[in-house]
Amino acid sequence: DEWKDRGSAVVARKEADRDSSPTTRVVKKGVKDFNFGRTLGEGSYSTVLAATDRTTLKEYAIKVLDKRHIIKEKKVKYVNIEKDTLNILGDHPGIVRLYYTFQDERSLYFVLDLATGGELLGFLKRLSTFDEECTRFYGAQILDAVAYMHSRGVIHRDLKPENVLLDDKMHIKITDFGTAKILAPPKPPPGDGSDYYQGDPMGGIDDTRANSFVGTAEYVSPELLTEKAACKASDLWAFGCIVFQLLSGRPPFKAANEYQTFQKIVHLEYEFPKGFPPVARDLVERLLVLDPTKRFTIDYIKSHKFFEGIEWGRKLWQQKAPRLK
C-alpha cells in the first residue's frame, strides 16, 4: 500500500451502550465531513481549498493531492515527508498544523490550519519593504518556529517568504515541509541508559541525498552547493536572506538564472542597499557566513541587539501583530 496512513489523526467518540459499559469507537474523518469552499491556491501537485467541518463548523484549508499525478512524477516520497514532519511538529502556533489525513480513489487530503492572510511574500510585494518593527516581529516569529522545528529534529530546507503564511491574527504559520529532513533521533550517551537528549553530534549534517538540490535558488545555503549537505545552520542562512529581504524588498542573492545566483552565493557576493539599518546589517552579516559552523546559532540570534525587547516563547504568540506599513 503506497499511501501509509499510520499515525493519522482520528476522532475518538465515546459512546455508552445499553448495558452502560463504555466503548470507544474511533471514527475517521472523510471527505463527507467537510463543505468545500473557495480555492486558496494551486501547487504543482495539489489544490488547496477552504473547507468547513460540517459538525463543528471550524474552518480549515484542505490540500487535495492527485494520486496518479504524484506517482507518475515520482513525488510519493515528498508527500510522505510532508505528512510525517507535520505530524512531528503538531503543536506550535508558528507551524501549519495537520489535523486529519484521508483519501479516496483519486486523491489524498491533508486537513490543515487555514491561513487566511496568505503568503508573507504577498504583503512584502504590496508594501515593497517592511519597517524595522515589522521585520523584528515577523523575524522573531519565524525564528521561534524554526527553533521549535530544530528542537524536534526537523530541518525545513526551503524557508522563504512564500512558505511563511499568515493567519487571521496576522501571525505566521510556516508551511511546505515536502523537502524537509527528519534527523535521526540522537543516541543516548554511552553507558548512561537514559534517553537524555544530548543534541546532534553532527550538527544535523545530512549527506544522504548527495546531488539532489533541494530548496529555492535564492535562499539555498553555500554548503548545499559546495558540500551537497544541509544542516540546521542551512535554515539560518535562509533566515538571514529573509531578514535582508524584508528590510530591502529583495533577496540578497539574485541573478538572471540559477547558475549565476549560485555563483553569487558561494562567493558571498551581495550588497546592502543605502539606508539599511546598521543593527540589522550586523545580524545579517553574522548569518550570511559561508562556513556553517561559524554562522550565528539560534541562541545568539535571539540575544542579538536587533531582537532586543522581544519576549521569546509563548508571549510572542499572544502579542498583537504590528500594523504592516
Q: Which residues bind ligand ATP (CB under 6 A)?
A: 40-46, 48, 61, 63, 96, 112-115, 118-119, 165, 175-176
Closer to ligand ATP by CB, 96 or 172: give it: 96
Q: How far is the CB of 78 from ligand ATP (least distance, A)?
A: 9
- Nearest approach in angstroms of CB 210 to ligand ATP is 22
Check: CB of residue 134 under 8 Å from CB of residue 184: no
Rounded Cα distance between 233 and 230, Å, is 8
Q: Cα separation of 220 and 124, whole Å?
A: 20
Q: Which three cell numbers, joined as nine digits, stand for 227?
A: 558540500
Rounded to a whole number of angstroms, the minimum distance from the CB of residue 227 to ligand ATP is 25
Those residues whose C-beta lies under 8 Å from the C-beta of residue 18, and which sit 6 or more positions away, are none
How many Å separate Cα 151 from the centre of its chain? 13
Q: What's the Cα-to-Cα distance from 281 to each of 247, 271, 287, 305, 319, rounded to whole Å?
A: 10, 10, 10, 11, 26
| DSSP state string for 63-124 | EEEEHHHHHHTT-HHHHHHHHHHHHHTTT-TTB--EEEEEE-SSEEEEEE---TTEEHHHHH
- Output 74 or 315, the one with its CB closest to ligand ATP: 74
CB of 59 to ligand ATP, least distance (A): 10
Q: What is the smallest separation between the CB atom of 91 and ligand ATP, expressed in angstroms?
A: 16
CA dist 32 to 29, 113, 198, 238, 271, Å? 8, 19, 46, 40, 53
In the chain, what is the straight-line distance between the N-terminal and C-terminal CA atoms, in Å? 50
Q: CA distances (Å), 235 to each of 57, 119, 122, 144, 244, in order?
A: 36, 19, 21, 12, 14
Q: Which of 33, 113, 144, 158 is catalytic?
A: 158
Residue 228 per-residue DSSP state: S
User: At closest approach, how far in Å is the CB of 96 from ligand ATP?
Assistant: 5
- Nearer to ligand ATP among residue 166 and residue 283 (C-beta): 166
CB nearer to ligand ATP: pick between 1 and 42: 42
**Cell 524557508, residue located:** 159
Is there a catalytic annotation at residue 158? yes
* Closer residue to ligand ATP, CB minimum distance, 50 or 289: 50
Q: How far is CA 199 from CA 103, 150, 183, 187, 188, in A?
A: 37, 10, 11, 9, 9
Q: Which is nearer to ligand ATP, 43 or 188 (CB)?
A: 43
Give the residue numbers annotated as catalytic, written as ranges.
Answer: 158
